[in-house]
Amino acid sequence: MGIQFEFLPALLLILLLPFYVVWLWKSLHRLQGGRKKLVVSLRTSVFFLLILALAETQLYTRVNHKSIVFTIDRSDSVKEEMKEAEWIREAVKARSSEKDEAGVVSMALKASVEKSLDAREMNGFQFTAQTNTQFSDIASGLQLASGLLTNGKSGRIILMSDGEENVGDVLRQGKLLRDRGIQVDVVPLAAKERKDASIEAVRVPDKLYQAEAYTLEVVIRSTSTGVAQLRVFEDNREMTAGSVQLNKGENRFAFQSLAKEPGFHRYRAEVYLEGDEQSANNAHYAFSQVEGPPKVLIVEGKAGISKNVEGALQSALIPFETIEPELLSNDFVTYTRYESIILNNVAATQIPQLKMEMMEQAVRDYSVGLVMLGGDNSYGLGGYFKTPIERALPVYMDLRGKREIPSLGIVLVMDKSGSMSGEKMKLAQEAASRTVDLLREKDTLGVLGFDSSPHWYVEPQKLSDKSGVIQKINAIPADGGTEIYTAVAEAFAKLSKVEAQRKHIILLTDGQSSTTQSYEALTADMQKENITMSTVAIGTDADQSLLKQLADLAKGRYYAAVDQTTIPAIFSREAVLISRTYVVNQPFVPALAGGTDWHSFLGQGLPSLNGYIATTPKEAAEVVLTSPEPDPILARWQYGSGRSVAWKGDVTGAWSANWVTWPAFSQVLTGMIKWTFPQFESSPLELNGHLAGREMTLEAKSGHITLDGSLGEQGELRAIVTDESLGSQEIHFTSTAPGEYSAQLSVDKSGVYIAKTELLAAGSEEGAEKRVIGSSTSGFVIPYSMEYRITDGQGLSKLQQLAELTGGRMLSLEHPEEAFAFASAAQKRLTPISEYLLMAALALLLMDIAARRVALPPGLWARAFAWRRAASAGPPEQAETPLARLRERKQLAEHKLQRKSERFAVGSAPSPAVAAPPRPTLEQREAAPEPVPPAPSSAPPDSMSRLLEAKRRGRK
């Protein structure tokens, strides 16, 4: 065992120790004798211990056993855990000493400790750490393994990998290990031999102009020769498909095409090779932006109702595309290529939830405009309550604190059979909860769940406790069979007893009833009680003919919910329709209430409007036209980076016959649409990305936007990045040079990412909102992980370089016993003791305080030792009494007082020093006669008084 110090300069403080002792001895002038020596010794020891603690003192012992950390590559390119675990077990079993230590680190994207470094057996070892195997970061595994070799453990690292890293730099990490004296042995793992064809790149120009011809290039690498199928898509539309001949190695294919539609376009190439063993690398992406005039998308609820809108856009030379809601794209990129989207009398039941979320996000994050035109299938009547479209519009779909609405009584009859489990039941519960939010406290709601028999989860009741009702709805389970008739009959029986002006039943099921009853008689009784019923069929397994018949007999509406996400919109629409209050059918002339920039075409007199859909304006919305109620007829607002407009009248002439024949109508309509167009010109912005694992480094260059430094404005660049599944992140760039910016982004899936960048200028006042002075929409491609690329075998040569760099060995899978077959040098096993030194110093400090503060009676130790000697010698002939000891002390005190009084006597010569007589032993005191008190002092009385007074002052 030895001792060493990590911070040697601290030992120089020992040179101050003699000076400290001298200073301490002089400063403790109030302490005398052995007490002073004890305090000085304790203080000196504390000082010395603190110096050793500052020097980070360590004890060390020399050990001769071996330490190895196995670092295993678990990425998908070499993932053979059973073989690697067996190799480790065999290597540990073949070690020469039971004291030899082994640890295991596994790594893919990140490294994890599978087993700490110790001498335990590894007979049952298996890999348990969870990691992302789509990436390989060998450097992180080596770094973590080297961390296990601290505290004097200077063993080796054995790396098992194919060397095909796609994150980090293994050779750079090898240099760091070499500097620390850590050797790395390598066990090469050959990449799996498989039949594979991968698309390495899809190349297309980043910028195109409308009607420009361009070439799209696809690069394919294959491990074998054969015929494959190659398909190329533009925005999910197939551009070309056919057979191609693949040769071993790299293959290039080019296709000619024409840029037709302006906007942002995504390209995807896919290859299919018979017998392909790796499908993760069969697709690759590219993107391009086609410049052209702005374009508008018209979504019409019924075919042919958009003629007036199309005529207005044609007169303004604005290109447009008209589609039905069923043809809305499932690709988010499609919505970003339009300047504005018009919903012309489209019901929310016709648009799946995902597509509504795409449109809302396009408005909020990518400056796409949104216009909703009225009609009997729009706004609240269309079921837009609490939908993404409502969030983007400037109006609420419900009537808040406005006119009197008839009291409603609604019973929701919901199928809860086993087939409704999962997503169906969640959507049904959401639909019921949305209905609760839409109704008022004076309305009555009941929720009846049925399988083979009905069960009331919410008895028909007033909605005084909406949260409690929603909790009961969310607790409905899904199990059992399906029996419709008894459930409808039970709902009718309860609802007929409810006091309400409008009564309605909504039946939802995805199956067929197990019995057939006379529904005609039941629905006839409903009509007598003025109770209506609508039915919703989920999926193709529902008895659609029965449900349609029930809706017709009960004077309700039938819905075939092909897309389950429309169920909440169906329930919302039904709750609004039975109130019959949202439609206002009375002629009036709208009043101008705002929109000063629209006064040029709205301020010259307006025609009358015969009806509209009533809504409530949002707090931040600007109402341009109002009705006498007052209700908003035309409203607009800014939503995120985009704009939206709500027009309550229709454009077919049903309510707005005077408007569609008004000469200025075309100008009014195009003015509303143009107002929603993006407000900032696209700024020249070059966006590049560099991928390392899941971290993308975005670099942006802006060469044409400058800031006016005289105004005290400082540029800031931010971006909202959206992937194909609508997941979005907001990132802020850091300025690295004039006009150059950089940002970090975490990505977890391949595909095309759209980035809406905005250049901001800070306000002149502190805390002022930053204004946008430029924006641009661009994108970048995240390919499949490089873990799945077809490599050229350079990873094995990199592993050999690592072994040579660190002085390691090249091992093989066939000989695991060679793992511990190396000469071991004596290693130091260090044990830091600084904490113990500090604890000892604290203990000595407490003893020092006690020695200085605690006073013991004079002669305590002498009497204690004398008592022990007397006890060991046997019982004395005559015990010393306390009175005798008190008398002795008094005599000694008087004797000393006499001597002092003689010394200070007035006019007398100083007395020669008289040595105090030695203290007699206990035996002498017992044998001596009773002492005679000394004669009174001859000192004058005034001298004695002064002496006593000085003594009292000294005591104080």
Tens-digit pLDDT profile for residues 647-705:
999 999 899 999 999 989 999 999 999 999 986 555 556 777 777 767 888 888 765 44
Q: Are 776 and 683 in contact (CB under 8 A)?
A: yes
For 188, the token pair is 């090469």
Which H or E run includes 715?
strand 715-722
pLDDT, tens digit, 9 for 90 and up, residues 345-373: 999 999 999 999 999 999 998 889 999 99
Report the alpha-carbon distance of residue 374 to residue 372 in Å, rounded: 7
CA neighbours closer than 13 Å in the CB half-sphere of residue 421: 8
Burial 256-283 (b: 16+ CB within 10 A, else e): ebebebbbbbbbbbebebeebebeebbb
Provide the whole-model pTM: 0.64
Cα separation of the two ends of the chain: 56
Residue 616 CB: number of other CB atoms within 10 A? 17
Residue 169, classed as helix, strand or coil, is coil
pLDDT, tens digit, 9 for 90 and up, residues 425-483: 888 899 889 888 888 888 899 999 998 888 999 999 998 888 899 999 988 888 888 88
Please classify residue 601 by burial: count the beta carbons closer than 10 Å to its beta carbon, then call 0-12 exposed, 13-18 middle and 19+ buried.
middle
Residues ≥6 apart with Cβ < 8 Å to 825: 154
Q: Are 340 and 298 in contact (CB under 8 A)?
A: no
Nearest to 413 by CA among 348, 460, 372: 460
Report the alpha-carbon distance of residue 225 to residue 229 in Å, rounded: 13
Phi, psi of 460 (to 5 degrees): -50, 120
pLDDT at residue 868 above 90?
Answer: no
Widest pairwise Cα distance in the chain: 146
CA neighbours closer than 13 Å in the CB half-sphere of residue 351: 30
Residue 151, classed as helix, strand or coil, is coil
Instruction: Calculate the average pLDDT of the chain.
Output: 83
Report the alpha-carbon distance of residue 176 to residue 184 in Å, rounded: 11
Confidence of residue 541 (pLDDT cuts 50, 70, 90): confident
Nearest to 556 by CA among 475, 488, 655: 488
Report the alpha-carbon distance of residue 791 to residue 800 in Å, rounded: 17
Nearest to 410 by CA among 434, 386, 390: 434
Confidence of residue 710 (pLDDT cuts 50, 70, 90): very low
pLDDT recorded at residue 683: 55
Residues ≥6 apart with Cβ < 8 Å to 17: 44, 47, 48, 51
Strands 213-222 and 249-258: antiparallel
pLDDT recorded at residue 78: 80
Find the DSSP H helices in 367-506: 388-392, 423-438, 466-474, 484-495
According to DSSP, residue 339 is labeled S
Which H or E run includes 25?
helix 17-27
